[in-house]
Amino acid sequence: MRPLRILTLFLVLAWPGALAYAAGSAHDYDFVAIDGQPLPFKGFAGKVVLVVNTASFCGYTDQYRDLKALWDRYRDRGLVVLGVPSNDFGGQEPGSNDDIKAFCQANYDVDFPLTEKVTVTGAAAHPFYRWARQELGAMQAPTWNFHKYLVDRSGRLVRAFETTIRPTAPQVQRAIEAALAAR
């Protein structure tokens, strides 16, 4: 048993991010809202959350319309759409948090929650995104803007949808409806 403990200790000390992945639920992570206020994921406990990394100047930016449509359609049933602005892909989110918020409201009437701009890839990724990558694997991690993660009411990561799958696509809506129906 002693060699196993030594190996475990070595791995934790040798890999600085090891302890960052210890949480078992999305509810264990916190964001900061685009207006600078705390936005703990546990505040969404009991809700289904579609987490989407967004960008204002991307070929997929019109997906904001679909995200708004999902929000309007399902929010009374318990869906939260959470936009997570990121400048990770092609420098397509260069503005400040104020710029992003103004753009989203003026162009897409976004009234669902937005986080402050964060990194969603690599070692500097927001802890939620590092956890999601660990949970679903590297093949389900964002490779571009408008990647989507679906989180169930208990904070369990249910599924990922790649950028090219629109938020209102049948498979996304079926997954949302199934998560909303589960208690």
Residue positions annotated with a catalytic role: 107
Which residues touch 120 (CB under 8 Å, ≥6 apart)?
53, 84, 86, 88, 126, 129, 142, 147
CA distance 117 to 108: 18
| Cβ(143)–Cβ(163) below 8 Å | yes
Q: With H, G, I as helix, E, B as strand and everything else as coil, classify residue 40.
A: strand
CA distance 134 to 131: 5
Residues in the chain: 183
CA distance 50 to 177: 12
**Sheet strands side by side (includes 48-54):** 79-85, 48-54, 148-151, 157-161
